[in-house]
């Protein structure tokens, strides 16, 4: 049974002040919020006024005896993945709304950073928010049901997609397909291919994500 109230680890702003930005990490299948919160100190170097949250997905992983999932991937047909994302979107939207409101922040002060299944959710939810986030960084993921997006898109945040060329879990070609679909809908998207990298985040991709969010927040504040 899923909980509609998400929880997980976080990191307060390095500045010691009230947060001016909120960065939310969305983990991959079979992991939990502890998996990505370790990236927060690296982002904090460039974003000292940002608070970082890494919620645990609401469902127990149904493909392993441990970990969490945003939706089931036992059946990977696009229609089933889209159904899973439709079901979890109200949960992540309610969480984001609550976290922003409680801090006096807006979507323009929000960034999403996803890995694998978390990237699928970040793209699905982020493109359907009432207002655009400052930015989305997606590692090793894909854009689910791009054919449905034209009639559903409500926000066009800037997006960075990073993918390893040797990814054996989510095909590297997924990045190019997502880029093409997003560009058709006038979503600003940048991509970074990482040679010899598998289903992971390397130092170059991490640094690119940090620069991208620092630039994205700066543009929102300008």
72 lies in some domain: yes
φ, ψ (nearest 5 deg) of residue 20: -100, -20
Q: Is the pLDDT of residue 220 over 80?
A: no
Q: Is the pLDDT of residue 10 over 90?
A: yes
211 lies in some domain: yes
Residue 99 CA: distances (Å) to CA of 92, 149, 188: 10, 26, 26
155 lies in some domain: yes
CA separation for the pair 64, 27 (Å, rounded): 15
CA separation for the pair 125, 167 (Å, rounded): 24
User: Percentage of the chain surpassing pLDDT 90?
Assistant: 90
Residue 222 pLDDT:
62
- Token pair 């992540």: residue: 92
**194 forms bridges with which residues in the sheet?**
164
pLDDT digits (tens, 9 = 90+) for 57-114: 999 999 888 899 999 888 888 889 999 999 999 999 999 999 999 999 999 999 999 9
3 lies in some domain: no
| Mean pLDDT of the region 113-126 | 98
CA separation for the pair 137, 115 (Å, rounded): 9
199 labelled catalytic: yes
42 labelled catalytic: no
100 lies in some domain: yes
40 lies in some domain: yes
83 lies in some domain: yes
Evaluate the CA torsion angle 93, 110, 103, 35 in order and state its sign.
positive
Residues 6+ positions from 14 with CB-CB distance below 8 Å: 44, 45, 48, 49
pTM to 2 decimal places: 0.95
CA angle 159, 59, 119 (to 5 degrees): 10
49 labelled catalytic: no
Q: 32, 54, 167, 174: which one is catalytic?
A: 167
CA separation for the pair 193, 172 (Å, rounded): 8
DSSP labels for 54-70?
A: -PPPSEE-TTSSS-EES
Q: Is the pLDDT of residue 1 over 50?
A: no
In CATH, what number is assigned to the domain containing residue 49? 3.40.50.1820
- State the total domains in the chain: 1
Q: 199, 200, 202, 215: which one is catalytic?
A: 199
- From the list 18, 48, 49, 47, the residue with the least C-alpha distance to 214 is 47
pLDDT digits (tens, 9 = 90+) for 27-48: 999 999 999 999 999 999 999 9
Q: Are 15 and 48 in contact (CB under 8 A)?
A: yes
Q: 27, 109, 116, 163: which one is catalytic?
A: 116
């Amino acid at each position: 049974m899923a909980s509609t109230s998400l929880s997980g680890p976080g990191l307060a702003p390095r500045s010691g002040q009230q947060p001016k930005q909120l960065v939310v990490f969305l983990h991959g299948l079979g992991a939990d919020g502890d998996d990505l919160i370790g990236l927060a100190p690296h982002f904090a170097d460039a974003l000292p006024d940002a608070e970082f949250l890494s919620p645990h997905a609401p469902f127990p992983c149904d493909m392993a005896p441990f970990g969490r999932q945003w939706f089931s991937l036992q059946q990977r047909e696009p229609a089933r993945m889209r159904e899973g994302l439709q079901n979890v979107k109200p949960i992540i939207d309610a969480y984001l709304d609550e976290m922003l409101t409680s801090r006096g922040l807006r979507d323009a002060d929000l960034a999403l950073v996803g890995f694998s299944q978390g990237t699928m959710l970040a793209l699905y939810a982020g493109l359907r928010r009432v207002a655009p986030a400052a930015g989305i960084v997606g590692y090793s993921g894909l854009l689910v049901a791009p054919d449905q997006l034209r009639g559903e898109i409500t926000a066009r945040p800037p997006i960075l997609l990073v993918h390893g060329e040797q990814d054996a879990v989510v095909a590297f070609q997924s990045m190019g397909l997502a880029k093409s679909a997003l560009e058709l809908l006038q979503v600003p998207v940048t991509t970074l291919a990482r040679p010899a990298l598998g289903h992971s985040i390397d130092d170059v991709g991490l640094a690119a994500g940090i620069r991208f969010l620092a630039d994205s927040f700066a543009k929102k504040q300008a």
